[in-house]
Structure 1
Amino acid sequence: MRRYVCLVLALLSGGAGAHPVDEMVQGAYLTLTPGAVQLELDLTPGVQVSAPVLKSLDANADERVTSAEARVFAVRVLAQSTLTLNGAAVRWTVDEVTVPPFQNLKLGSDTIKIYATAKRPDQPGAGTLVYQNRYQPVKSQWTANVFLQPAAGWNYAVTGQSRSNDGRQLAVKYRITRL
């Protein structure tokens, strides 16, 4: 019953369907895991700005995105982001790209997901992670968040974080200790 009350309140307050039609929402979700940083980058173009994104994604303009086209797109997008660990630049490796039906993207009603990994030494002590997303084929809204995936024998803790005003950059201080 509580779920339905919350849904009704969200609908009445205008909170539902808040995706902008004239911007692309870019959500970066970084997870510190043993020996790596995993990235899920969600790209949701609004209906009014989907054309340039789709042109870049669908190289042969047949309105069907192949896995090869998706991978090339993901590499281009990730080349416009940076990740530094303790001040040293680290490269992303594309793990997977999920592309919804072309028509959904054209209508601004779905999300491209890019999954990537960057290697990170798992050693005790303090560390810093700085992620910056410079991908902007159209007007965009950015957000970035960090998550922890603890491992047996290790403890991870975020000790501080900051974001740029535009949401493009996330800086995280963390500590790893052996249990």
Structure 2
Amino acid sequence: MTCIGLVAAVAFPRAAAAHRLDEFLQATRISIAPDAILLEIDLTPGAEIGPMVFALINTDRDGRISSAEGRAYANHAVRDIILELDGRPKLLAVERTRFPSFEEMRAGTGTVRIEARAAAVLSPGRHTLRYQNSDRPDGSVYLVNALVPSSPKIEITDQHRDPLQREIRLGFNVTSGSTVSIVLPLLVIVGLGFLIPIGYGYRRKQNRHRTLRSTGLDIL
């Protein structure tokens, strides 16, 4: 695991365990892929507000969070997130959710996981990404980090967060995959260009040696 990825994976659980009982911790990991921007959002309410947050999600008051209730809450949370690629807003769609039990949220150890995706076609060149979380500004503590891209074509060059970590701006470069496909054949052709004269010269030298032997001349 890379250094930045390790920091994101280790620091977030520690922060979730250390936040105050009356705080709502919102930790977001951002992944940039060639065809999408991916968000992993962990929402952890403290023990004092856990039952209130659970009741907000569990609208039918049956003591369990249904798929429909979880989806409705996740869609509401994602609507409060601003995501812009090169200055243009991107639409986030919820892909997966995971909700804790009432007992876990009452104890302050329950974490809501929301995974969202925004489609994006990244052309080669320089790009910027802006993320801002405006969900529950009163009483929330925010963390945001960018994971190292899994694609070798994408390189994050700079990141800038606001002091509250509600917002992050990323600069990154995308290289074309065609570079390898063009360079590799050229290297092969150049290599063959060196090898063919060498091989031809070696065969001429061998033929000359055989001719000299047949005439009885000494070979130097």
Aligned length in residues: 163
Deviation by residue 1:141-176 (Cα, 9 ceiling, x = unmatched)? 10111123333xx52111111001111001101101
- Percent identical pairs in the alignment equals 30
The aligned residue for residue 176 of structure 1 is 174
Which has the larger share of helix? 2
Shift of 1:137: 6.7
d(CA) in 2 for partners of 1:16, 1:140: 12
Matches within 5 A, 1:51-70: 51-70=51-70
Decide whether aligned partners of structure 1 residues 111 and 96 sit closer, same or farther in structure 2, where only a CA change above 3 A counts: same
The unaligned stretches of length 5 or more in structure 2 are 1-14, 178-220
Matches within 5 A, 1:51-90: 51-90=51-90
2:32 is equivalent to residue 32 of structure 1: yes
2:161 is equivalent to residue 163 of structure 1: yes
The aligned residue for residue 115 of structure 2 is 115
Contact persistence 1:52–1:138 (CA under 8 A): no
d(CA) in 2 for partners of 1:73, 1:178: 39
d(CA) in 2 for partners of 1:16, 1:168: 16
d(CA) in 2 for partners of 1:146, 1:74: 21
RMSD over aligned CA atoms reads: 1.7
Q: TM-score, normalized by length of structure 2? A: 0.70
Larger Rg: 2
The unaligned stretches of length 5 or more in structure 1 are 1-14
Contact persistence 2:26–2:43 (CA under 8 A): yes
Contact persistence 2:84–2:129 (CA under 8 A): yes
Decide whether aligned partners of structure 1 residues 124 and 77 sit closer, same or farther in structure 2, where only a CA change above 3 A counts: same
SS in 2 for 1:72: helix
Q: TM-score, normalized by length of structure 1? A: 0.85
Deviation by residue 1:73-93 (Cα, 9 ceiling, x = unmatched)? 000000111100000001111
Which has the larger share of strand? 1
Deviation by residue 1:72-122 (Cα, 9 ceiling, x = unmatched)? 000000011110000000111110110011210122112000001001112
Contact persistence 2:26–2:42 (CA under 8 A): yes
SS in 2 for 1:110: coil
Shift of 1:61: 1.6
Contact persistence 1:53–1:137 (CA under 8 A): no
SS in 2 for 1:148: coil
